[in-house]
């Protein structure tokens, strides 16, 4: 009885081995000819001159388009990279600040002069948007406890470091397409507003 089960097991194992061998043989033989030539052509590592120039244009475009405005004062460089109208009637302005003052910078002079804003510490709470056409100034939005809807520079910004920031404002009327952004002693920067993305 054991001999019969052993023979069945060996037969099954032989069948599986032969089937696997056939599958590998078919897979090894298939797919040759023109397919290999097509894949070799597609994977060519020598780009044409035109495609190289297009790549350069695409890589240069985002860096120039992503900065809406840049201002410098007192060793600080402020960049505005985005000013988007949100669906709820707000404008969210984002950017970066680079500390080139030679010492750590905490942003205390950017928090604004109002006593309510003292709770925000070093922040961009004192920023504003000015609609020159509508002759109106928009301050950073705050919650009921006076905390700004903006970046707080907790721990400050080290010498030579760059950090991101954001601030939310009430949205100017739909017809207003550009505003002046200003904070602290930095000069005003005219920025274009874009629609909700």
Domain range list for the chain: 67-192
Beta bridge partners of 167: 93, 150
Distance CA 158, CA 76 (A): 12
Distance CA 27, CA 100 (A): 63
Contact 83, 192 (CB under 8 A): yes
Is the pTM higher than 0.95? The answer reads no
pLDDT tens column, 149-196: 999 998 899 999 999 999 999 999 988 999 999 999 999 999 999 886
Sign of torsion, CA 85 91 94 97? Answer: positive
pLDDT at 92 over 70: yes
Architecture of domain 67-192: Sandwich (2.60)
Q: Any idea which residue has 């939310």 for tokens?
A: 168
């Amino acid at each position: 009885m054991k001999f019969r089960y052993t023979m069945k097991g060996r037969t099954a194992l032989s069948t599986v081995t032969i089937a696997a061998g056939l599958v590998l043989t078919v897979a090894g033989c298939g797919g040759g000819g023109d397919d290999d030539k097509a894949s070799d052509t597609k994977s060519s590592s020598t780009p044409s001159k035109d495609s190289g120039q297009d790549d350069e244009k695409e890589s240069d475009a985002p860096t120039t388009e992503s900065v809406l405005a840049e201002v410098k004062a007192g060793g600080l460089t402020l960049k505005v990279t985005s000013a988007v109208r949100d669906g709820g009637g707000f404008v969210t302005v984002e950017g970066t600040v680079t500390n080139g003052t030679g010492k750590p910078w905490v942003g205390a002079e950017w928090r604004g002069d109002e006593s309510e804003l003292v709770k925000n510490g070093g922040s961009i709470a004192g920023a504003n948007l000015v609609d020159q056409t509508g002759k109106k100034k928009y301050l950073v939005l705050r919650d009921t406890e006076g905390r700004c809807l903006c970046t707080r520079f907790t721990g400050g910004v080290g010498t030579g470091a760059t950090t991101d920031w954001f601030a939310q404002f009430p949205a100017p009327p739909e017809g207003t397409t550009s505003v002046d952004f200003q904070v602290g002693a930095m000069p005003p920067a005219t920025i274009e507003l874009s629609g909700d993305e």
